[in-house]
Amino acid sequence: MNPLDRVSRSAWLQAGGVVAATLLLTASFLGVVAAVVGVATGVGGRLALYFLAGGVAFVVSTLALSGRGLDGATVLLATVGVSLLTFVLALSAGEGVRYAILRPGEVFDVQLLGYLAAAGLVVTGLSIWTVRYWREFVGPDAA
Q: Is residue 64 part of a domain?
A: yes
How many domains does the chain fold into?
Answer: 1
Q: Is residue 77 part of a domain?
A: yes
Q: Is residue 134 part of a domain?
A: no
**Full domain range(s) for residue 65:** 45-120
- The fraction of the chain above a pLDDT of 90, given in percent, is 72
Q: What would the pLDDT profile of 12-23 be if each residue is shown by its tens digit?
A: 889 999 999 999
What mean pLDDT value characterizes the chain? 90
Q: Is residue 26 part of a domain?
A: no
Q: Is residue 18 part of a domain?
A: no
Task: Please check whether residue 53 is in contact with residue 87, taking contact to mean a CB–CB distance below 8 angstroms.
Answer: yes
pLDDT at 4 over 80: no
Q: Is residue 66 part of a domain?
A: yes
Query: If pLDDT is split at 50, 70 and 90, which confidence band does 8 have?
Result: confident
Q: Is residue 12 part of a domain?
A: no
Task: Please check whether residue 37 is in contact with residue 107, taking contact to mean a CB–CB distance below 8 angstroms.
Answer: no
Q: What would the pLDDT profile of 19-64 be if each residue is shown by its tens digit?
A: 999 999 999 999 999 999 999 899 999 999 999 999 999 999 999 9
Query: If pLDDT is split at 50, 70 and 90, which confidence band does 1 have?
Result: low
pLDDT at 140 over 90: no
Q: Is residue 25 part of a domain?
A: no
pLDDT at 3 over 80: no
pLDDT score, position 139: 66
Please spell the DSSP secondary structure of 82-141, one letter per residue: HHHHHHHHHHHHHHHHHHHHH-HHHH--HHHHHHHHHHHHHHHHHHHHHHHHTHHHHSTT
pLDDT score, position 5: 64
pLDDT at 6 over 90: no
Q: What is the pTM of this model?
A: 0.82
